[in-house]
Structure 1
């Protein structure tokens, strides 16, 4: 992870993550640079497409398990949407105040300096992004294979193989052309919203047929233990995760000062409404016992209500997860590209394909890490593990918003949210992190330990300036090999 001044034509720009970048909006007529190709519609499709993925099909049973009752679980889902909306509005202010790609990495760096920013990048690289992608890919594979094994679970090896294939396929599309990525995203976002609306209208038909028993006494059994409520919120928030992904690609968004907040304000209410309706549909058709026993609530729902066409629900789930994985791969690859551009990852990850103008090394590296994590499939532990760590850094980003209002009031803020919103967000997220430690101490402890592991790595690879010559030479050789292998150059280099 050393920041290396590479030789033989590779001249990376060593930038401090906290350094102001006055030229973010400037389009270069020469050299290699990512293009501004994302419209408002594309931005909405990325946010909705990334959010509506595996979570809405995996999390309802876990939310009900910890909430205790259908009524409380529905409250958790709606409040999770409102909390995500508050966070997204705070990020709209951050994204227009600091119009850089990289999301939390850029904001934490501006507010608190390079070490906290590196820790976020370190955790995102090996926990947040690949784990979320792995869960989504496994959910896609599970559902695309389910019709072939209607009476039992598909073989584990087959699920892992299909998950690996779809991850590699979408990575290849992202490497080839950004316009292909946005077309796939727009198409599958529309398909997944349609799929969830079909679920809701099917449940309405079921209710109008006289089956209202499952919606009676919805608050019976409500759990009031703070630790369990915190985990219930984790499962809900996991399903909303991705609301900050458009901030990862701010530099590729047309007119970000207008389109970033607009995309957020359109996307979040749509997702919250669709999620609430989908959960009402599940709760109307399935009993508590059926939801608890199901690993894929949507499939159980379809088997009970759709009869001979129940195979269509696994297909819908596969469509949703395919689009979600596509958007996540696109957006998160820019996070690692920006981190490498700032010297916090190997410079090779910041290289851009000279023909297609895509960050090919970053995409391939992320694909490889995701393939490794496909071997782990304890979804409940992974959700707590990922959401607890993500909540800590989201807390850090929103704290940075408040801190920069105090220390840097001169910064331009095209969007300025009410002070009440970040304060409420901080209080609720602090509650979730603290109380989840009592219910799942091992998962939260592992996440915190992994964050702490990044401190010595930062000292060795970033702060240590007088590195041995053999380390410098090895890094140079690796960077140049990647440049030749993928026909890539650093940003703003002139094409050869």
Structure 2
């Protein structure tokens, strides 16, 4: 029961709000940046689009599968609840620990600093190279300070009640969806036929190879090519992550059995289509070499200059500021509900199990904000996010496998919505995701083992917490 101290979650989120929470949490800064790395790993327009298509399929297939779980267990906590019901508290705690330690908090930090970096295009004093404090080799930049200020501001807004958070989220998400659509339309208007022909020429479009920023190329052998595609998928999947946001706030969604699954489907479809059109637009205004060599990987900045001229940088900077601000609001709003659910089970700090006078988990929100702020100060969030991508997908796979387990284990639980295309679509997702994980483990261990180690640390921590609870 989502009730503590006579407080309970308020059913304040309609279908539009839930859908905008999903889409807004997905669209951050990734779509403006990661295509540069994908271009280097694949070297061709055709494979660039294939990577985004695979990412779109995986995201949509998982979202459609999660619809069944969300309808079965329409409670705050999302993935944490699904994993607990399918596998028990050890697996769900391990997820919750990783989510709190790195997945959500480091993502909030990374998105916050991305907001600051692009704000610096308009106000150079806020650049990451402007240091406010230097102690030996350690620096605190104005970008880090601004990121922390934004995180704490959004945390404060969300502690004032879900109504504030949802209004901000829905408004900003609608603005950034419209902005991206306009960027795509203007991009196609500025379409360069010569560049399109070059990128999509028969001899180039499917030529999978390494395209270095300096213009040199390297050919792949078969298994190396698969590893390269998996590495390229890291950025695309990161850009599409947090698609499950509405499931975490199930306790605050009207008619959750219907609206959670529907919001997952609608949100992921909207974002997937926008991402595909954006990348198709890139291939019409920039050569693959220009994408691969974009300064600081900011491929959208280079494209905006081609589309709008010198003013393009300012236009895109404002777009990304709105995008990252809204993205962080969604991440902050949804993340705290998972810690709340863990605390309800006695597996997290006790105070996070309570709701404040505004019927939101205020203590959990502030704790999340503090940890995210600390990640901002370390400057290591970007590396950690690369390391944790594999683990994030592992937990997604476990949840989708959980659908099969629960069909046998809990056949009596009502299922107002059943996984689309079951068992084929969920099985295809599992196979695709497992192949992605295996290839990363083999060919890109730097993307896997650190995250797996952080996750495994949750196992002894679970038994420590369990033993402490027994002693109390």
* TM-score, scaled relative to structure 1: 0.84
Name the structure 1 match of 2:430. Answer: 426
Displacement of 1:358: 1.7
Q: 3-state DSSP class of the match of 2:62?
A: helix
State how 1:92-111 maps to structure 2 within 5 Å: 92-111=67-86
Name the structure 2 match of 1:222. Answer: 208
**1:320 has 2:320 as partner:** no
Q: 3-state DSSP class of the match of 2:228?
A: helix
Instruction: Decide whether the 8 Å contact of 2:109 with 2:381 is kept in 1.
Output: no
Q: 3-state DSSP class of the match of 2:142?
A: helix
The superposition leaves residues 283-340 of structure 1 with CA deviations (integer Å, 9 ceiling, x where unpaired) of 2212222222222222222223212322111100110111110011001111111111
Name the structure 1 match of 2:112. Answer: 137
Instruction: Decide whether the 8 Å contact of 1:214 with 1:286 is kept in 2.
Output: no
State how 1:435-454 maps to structure 2 within 5 Å: 435-454=439-458
Moved more, 55-64 or 103-112: 55-64
CA distance in 2, matches of 1:250, 1:92: 12
Q: 1:153 to 1:327 in 2, by over 3 A?
A: closer
State how 1:30-45 maps to structure 2 within 5 Å: 31-45=6-20
The superposition leaves residues 163-200 of structure 1 with CA deviations (integer Å, 9 ceiling, x where unpaired) of 11111111110011211111111111111112111221
Q: 3-state DSSP class of the match of 1:409?
A: coil
Q: 1:371 to 1:227 in 2, by over 3 A?
A: same
Instruction: Decide whether the 8 Å contact of 2:46 with 2:200 is kept in 1.
Output: no
Name the structure 2 match of 1:359. Answer: 361
Instruction: Decide whether the 8 Å contact of 1:54 with 1:135 is kept in 2.
Output: no
Name the structure 2 match of 1:198. Answer: 182
CA distance in 2, matches of 1:281, 1:465: 55
CA distance in 2, matches of 1:241, 1:85: 11
Name the structure 2 match of 1:483. Answer: none
State how 1:381-400 maps to structure 2 within 5 Å: 381-400=383-402
Q: 1:365 to 1:69 in 2, by over 3 A?
A: same
Name the structure 2 match of 1:47. Answer: 22
Over the aligned positions, Cα root-mean-square deviation in angstroms equals: 2.1
Displacement of 1:104: 1.2
CA distance in 2, matches of 1:61, 1:314: 17
State how 1:236-255 maps to structure 2 within 5 Å: 236-255=236-255
Q: 3-state DSSP class of the match of 1:207?
A: coil
Instruction: Decide whether the 8 Å contact of 2:44 with 2:205 is kept in 1.
Output: yes
* Number of aligned positions between the proteins: 441
The superposition leaves residues 218-251 of structure 1 with CA deviations (integer Å, 9 ceiling, x where unpaired) of 5254145221111212211111101111110111
List, as ranges, runs of 4+ consecutive aligned residues in structure 1 with deviation greater than 6 Å.
none
Q: 3-state DSSP class of the match of 2:377?
A: coil
Displacement of 1:416: 1.3
CA distance in 2, matches of 1:421, 1:458: 33
CA distance in 1, matches of 2:148, 2:242: 21
Q: 3-state DSSP class of the match of 2:7?
A: coil
Name the structure 2 match of 1:8. Answer: none
Name the structure 2 match of 1:287. Answer: 287
Q: 1:378 to 1:283 in 2, by over 3 A?
A: farther
CA distance in 1, matches of 2:253, 2:264: 13
Q: 1:42 to 1:237 in 2, by over 3 A?
A: same
Instruction: Decide whether the 8 Å contact of 1:214 with 1:285 is kept in 2.
Output: no
**1:91 has 2:93 as partner:** no
Instruction: Decide whether the 8 Å contact of 1:398 with 1:426 is kept in 2.
Output: yes
User: Which consecutive residues of structure 1, in runs of 5 or more, have no partner in the other structure?
Assistant: 1-22, 473-496
Instruction: Decide whether the 8 Å contact of 1:337 with 1:349 is kept in 2.
Output: yes
**1:76 has 2:76 as partner:** no
Q: 1:131 to 1:266 in 2, by over 3 A?
A: same
CA distance in 2, matches of 1:452, 1:397: 18
Instruction: Decide whether the 8 Å contact of 2:388 with 2:452 is kept in 1.
Output: no
State how 1:97-176 maps to structure 2 within 5 Å: 97-149=72-124, 155=130, 157-176=141-160
Displacement of 1:64: 1.8
Name the structure 2 match of 1:267. Answer: 267
Q: 1:444 to 1:212 in 2, by over 3 A?
A: closer
Instruction: Decide whether the 8 Å contact of 1:137 with 1:167 is kept in 2.
Output: yes
* TM-score, scaled relative to structure 2: 0.89
Q: 1:378 to 1:118 in 2, by over 3 A?
A: closer
CA distance in 2, matches of 1:365, 1:279: 37
Q: 3-state DSSP class of the match of 2:33?
A: helix
CA distance in 1, matches of 2:206, 2:65: 36
CA distance in 1, matches of 2:300, 2:196: 19
User: Which consecutive residues of structure 2, in runs of 5 or more, have no partner in the other structure?
Assistant: 132-140, 210-221
CA distance in 1, matches of 2:15, 2:79: 21
Instruction: Decide whether the 8 Å contact of 2:82 with 2:399 is kept in 1.
Output: yes
CA distance in 2, matches of 1:48, 1:289: 30
Name the structure 1 match of 2:161. Answer: 177
Q: 3-state DSSP class of the match of 1:411?
A: coil
Q: 1:211 to 1:114 in 2, by over 3 A?
A: closer
CA distance in 1, matches of 2:371, 2:382: 20
The superposition leaves residues 28-52 of structure 1 with CA deviations (integer Å, 9 ceiling, x where unpaired) of 9x92112110001101110111011
CA distance in 2, matches of 1:268, 1:61: 22
